[in-house]
Amino acid sequence: MRSIPVAYILWFFLGLLGVHRFYCNRVLSGLLWLLTGGLFGIGWLVDLFIIPGMVRVSNAEARLRQGLYHVPVYDLPRARPVEGATRRLAPAAGHRVLYCTDCGGPMQVPNRDVGRHFACPRCHHVMVAPG
């Protein structure tokens, strides 16, 4: 699992080379940072604010690859978890996986529900399903 303090240390000392982005499994943007000096320093400064989100998403992706998440099964008309029901995170037909912008946790939502509001099952942060 990635650590936010380690990512900030890498950002501070080697951020213009994109090492913190490689650490968070962002290889393409890491290469871009390496070739352009952190987008000429501007991207390096912007990363000061987005490192926690990059680390959370990287950790969530690692958990998904390892199959460590169990996502609640939702009663779709009411968008509430069905008590005690869970399944492995593999999107059902007609569904997709969204990641919480606050905690990085995944959730399953129907493809047809574009613009609908969903609450994260872990932190209850409300998000709008993108199109």
3 state SS of 128 = strand
Pair 10, 59 in one domain:
yes
Tell me which residue range forms the domain holding 86: 78-128
Distance CA 129, CA 98 (A): 8
Cβ atoms of residues 48 and 42 within 8 Å: no
Pair 9, 55 in one domain:
yes
Determine the distance from the C-alpha atom of residue 69 to the mean position of all C-alpha atoms in its chain, rounded to a whole number.
13
Of 66, 89, 106, which one is at a domain's C-terminal end? 66
Pair 61, 93 in one domain:
no
pLDDT digits (tens, 9 = 90+) for 49-72: 999 989 988 887 887 776 655 544
Is the pLDDT confidence value at 114 over 80?
A: no
For the chain, how many structural domains are there in total? 2
**Which of these, 65, 54, 69, lies nearest to 121 by C-alpha position?**
69
Structure tokens at 33: 């940072």
- pTM here is 0.54
